[in-house]
Amino acid sequence: MSKHRFVRAAIVAAALFTAAPGVTAEAGSHDVDLVGGVAPVVRTDHLLSPLRYSGAMPAFGVLWTGEGERASNRVGLDLVLGGLRSGPDWTYTRDGETIEAGPTGTTLVDLRYAHGRRVVDGAWTVQVGGTFVTHLEQHYYPYGFTGVSNYLGTLTLSPWAEASVDLGKRQHFAVEAWVPLLAWVARSPYAVHDDEYLWHNRDTNPVFIAARYIGAGSLASPLSYQSGHLRATWSLDVSDHLAVLVAGRLDALHLTDPSPLTELQFGTNAGLRGSF
């Protein structure tokens, strides 16, 4: 299958997955979680620098969950925006003018769909299924005097599992995890800015640019791409339709092609859950 056909197939699959809740969800509850918090991120991307960049950035998330008798669907969007640093900001001079070398500009986006079926229904409830995740990263490294943008986009299919338990009448705890088995990876080239990359930036429409980036990717083998993801959520019902929640996340990513990248993203969020 050509890479462009794969991308089209993946996008269609994502659209079908996203449409699926209306078709497959059985009568049951619908929850919407709105959370905000802080996401500490640590990454070393040898495409850009041998240094370790880190920082705690504002994070936002929204998650819809449709729970049926035996199955569930969920669609979520997570956004992290901010800057990472390899150390304190510093200054240099150019023709007598003092110039500051500042932090990177970093944007991390996750859009995911998961479908699960209940396989254990006791004190603990366990669901297993699959998830399709689109993960996008855009980074701007200022290097003091010149800026370099780069990107990473992955479309992954993963087995997915969630275990949840009621901690009394009003408290609940859930943990979910997934490890991608199939990944389409689009990443800046070895030379970071080659002419093909520059041509992809030939207009100012970010949707077209992102589509060109993703289209330029390829299937990644498990030897060149590894990631793992964990989510944990504690919630406290304050009424029949409202709960407060605290959520934690851990995302680990490692790529070797065309240069090593290691990234850890932690997250601590708090927010509200509306049930209807």
Applying CB under 8 A, which residues contact other proteins?
A: 42-44, 48-52, 86-87, 90-95, 99, 101, 141-148, 175, 189-196, 198-199, 201-202, 204, 228, 230, 232, 250, 252, 254, 258, 260, 262, 264
Angle between helix 206-215 and helix 3-24 axes, rounded to 10 deg? 110
Q: Which is nearer to other proteins, 109 or 250 (CB)?
A: 250
Instruction: State in angstroms the smallest separation of the CB of 13 from other proteins.
Output: 29
Judged by beta carbon, residue 23 or residue 207, the one nearer other proteins is 207
Instruction: Using the minimum distance from each CB to other proteins, give the nearer residue, 48 or 157.
Output: 48
Smallest distance from the beta carbon of 238 to other proteins, in angstroms?
Answer: 26
Q: Are 261 and 255 in contact (CB under 8 A)?
A: yes
Residue closer to other proteins (CB basis): 144 or 215: 144
CB of 250 to other proteins, least distance (A): 7
Distance in Å, CB of 96 to other proteins, minimum: 9
- Cβ distance to other proteins smaller for residue 109 or 252: 252
Give Cβ neighbours of residue 146 (< 8 Å, ≥ 6 apart): none
Which residue matches tokens 């060149």?
224
Least separation, in Å, of the C-beta of 11 and other proteins?
25
Closest CA to 138 of 149, 122, 148, 129: 149
Minimum CB distance to other proteins, residue 255 (Å)? 10
Is residue 9 classed as helix, strand or coil in its secondary structure?
Answer: helix
- Alpha carbons 105 and 221: distance in angstroms, whole number: 29
Nearest Cα neighbor of 1 from 182, 197, 208 is 182
DSSP state, 2? -
The whole-angstrom separation of Cα 157 and Cα 164 is 22
Smallest gap, in angstroms, from Cβ of residue 20 to other proteins?
29
The CB-of-68 to other proteins minimum distance in angstroms stands at 27
Residues 170 and 191: beta-carbon distance below 8 Å = no
Name residue, tokens 């800015």: 193
d(CA 47, CA 223): 18
Backbone angles phi and psi of 126, in degrees to 5: -125, 130
Q: How many other CB atoms sit within 10 Å of the CB of residue 9?
A: 12
Pick 202 or 241: Cβ nearer other proteins: 202
CB-nearer residue toward other proteins: 204 or 239? 204
Q: How far apart are CA 200 and CA 195, in angstroms?
A: 9
